[in-house]
A = this chain, B = another copy of it.
Amino acid sequence: MDVTAWQNALQAWIEAIGSRHVETGAAALAAAEKATFATNQRIPVILRPGSRDEVAHCLRIANSFRCPVYPVSTGKNWGYGSRVPARTQTALLDLSRLNRIVEYNEELAFVTVEPGVTQRQLSAYLAERKSSLWMDATGSSPDASLIGNTLERGFGHTPYGEHFNHAAALEVVLPNGDCIATGFARFPNANTGPLFRWGVGPSLDGLFSQSGFGIVTRMSIQLMPAPEYFQAFFFRCDSYDQLGAVLEVLRPLRLNGTLPSSVHIANDYRILSGLRQFPWELTNGQTPLLPAALPALRRSLNIGAWNASGGLYGSKEQVAVARRLLRHALRGKVSRLTFLDDRALRLTIQYARPLQFFTSWDLSRAAEMLPPVYGLLKGIPTAHALRGAYWRKKSYPAVLDPDLDHCGLLWHAPILPATPEDAARLHDTASRILLEDGFEPMMTLSLVNGRAFAAVISICYDRDVPDEDARAMACYRRLVDSCRDLGYYSYRLGVQSSAEMDGPPAYADLLRRLKAAVDPNHILAPGRYQPPASASPPARG
């Protein structure tokens, strides 16, 4: 680290955006250096520019002094590194002050936002206006940035769940401080930027997702018209091996659009972690929770080995037709297929308590989980999923902050073909590896399109337990390697995972040439989604 360069840069940044927005306090820096797994990156300074021009100014200074910066929108990238830069000695560029909803077009159904705009903020904005449009939400956190999640190519649960597919007209500050807009938005007077993503000539949007090619300071996000009627569906499989037959009938319905949104399928471990914390009382304080303990827990909590949810959207009649097709397809293959609309949800919650009185089931927790899961299918963000990060803790704090609370959480999110064989193969492999290493194999499979699953496998632990950080990371590496051997690669990487960007030398070389063309001094997010320094053929395959 060139101390003089950093001192000069610091001075310049203070002049550019004001000392109030240049954070060098030890406590604030230490907090920003914390993720839900072990990191040792050091952050010399946090910059909080307040406008696009200030972002550009910050980048020009970074270039002048060769002091790299790492942009985060709101920094809620839980499980993938939170706010921590990929490399040490990188300034954190926090975009949360750019938090304006710049444009809202109800007729053509889109919104234009800055990176600090959170899921909660847009949700409230739409509710206030009694908008006829729905947003899509990712399950992570209401405080997650819409742009941040979209650029990570995250997904949610409505028909607009593949976020990057519904983004257009990116305004981008390039590493040299230039500002461009993508698609037709590059033409100042164009009126179709947010409406048709490709524009004319090479389409550059993809370059600015999962990369360090530029800082997106504005993006248009397409919103879906609220359907006349919505119905959620839920079903479960009581044994793991029932899933195959279910997938055989779900995939065609997803492919032909009868199921217009992702079907989300979670295993028992995953559901359990949403309903409650680790059952220390059942295991005498031992970890992991072994599969043998699950049948009783499933019964008492009224959950299945696999638990699926999805949504039907349309006119009442359209939903009724889809419901009949789904019911017919799943007949005899699943347990407890339930359809739920707004009214039924209200009644269900109302009657959960008396029902519990007459059964052995603990329905209160299921009833607690239902509204957030149901809400996500309508694009309503929820903090509920965050609770899962506290699985190995002894209690939930009033305000959830997995980073500061030393929650351990590592996510691996491989994509796999939507076939029964692939689903079983991944489930078996991940279960074996995590259990061997002392963790519960929590897993979701999302049928993100009619051809592929996005799996999310959580390694969930307590960072306060000695050596658990190292064990978890070793388990993560083993999981990644095994998935790669099976041909399943992650759709998204944590900051610890640049090795996963490796691949054939020609591809790595191309990425390096493109990066050098836009960021010759490598001052933007060095190491993030970049192949390791020395290109080499992949270790396996």
User: CB within 8 Å of B: which residues of A?
Assistant: 107-110, 153, 159, 164-165, 174, 178-181, 184, 186-192, 194-196, 198-211, 213, 222, 224-225, 227, 252, 255-258, 260, 313-315, 317-318, 321-322, 324-325, 415-419, 422, 448-452, 454, 484-485, 487-493, 500-501, 503-504, 506-507, 509-511, 513-514, 516-518, 529-530, 538, 540-541
Contacts and interface: CB of A to CB of B under 8 A. Distances in A.
A256 B314 contact: yes
A527 to B, nearest CB: 12
Given A188-B541, A192-B487, A321-B318, A210 B206 contact: no
A180 B510 contact: yes
Contact of A225 (B189, B252, B538): B252
Max chain B Cβ within 10 angstroms of own Cβ: one of A190, A313, A415: A415
Contacts of A188: 504, 538, 541
A179 B394 CA distance: 53
A46 to B, nearest CB: 26
A202 B211 contact: yes
A81 to B, nearest CB: 15
Contact of A500 (B153, B159, B200): B200
Contacts of A315: 258, 321, 325
Contacts of A192: 415-417, 452, 487-489
A258 B314 contact: yes
Max chain B Cβ within 10 angstroms of own Cβ: one of A165, A189, A488: A189
Given A186-B504, A196-B452, A448-B196, A210 B201 contact: yes
Nearest to A325: B315
B206 A417 contact: no
A143 B192 CA distance: 32
Contacts of A504: 180, 186, 188
25 contacts: A109-B255, A164-B198, A174-B506, A178-B506, A179-B506, A189-B540, A189-B541, A192-B416, A192-B417, A195-B415, A195-B418, A196-B454, A196-B491, A198-B206, A198-B209, A199-B489, A199-B491, A200-B501, A200-B529, A201-B501, A205-B206, A225-B252, A317-B324, A514-B514, A514-B518
A190 B321 contact: no
A182 to B, nearest CB: 9
Contact of A256 (B225, B422, B448, B454): B225
A202 B196 contact: no
B195 A202 contact: no
Contacts of A322: 318
Contacts of A506: 174, 178-180
Contacts of A211: 201-202
A370 to B, nearest CB: 26
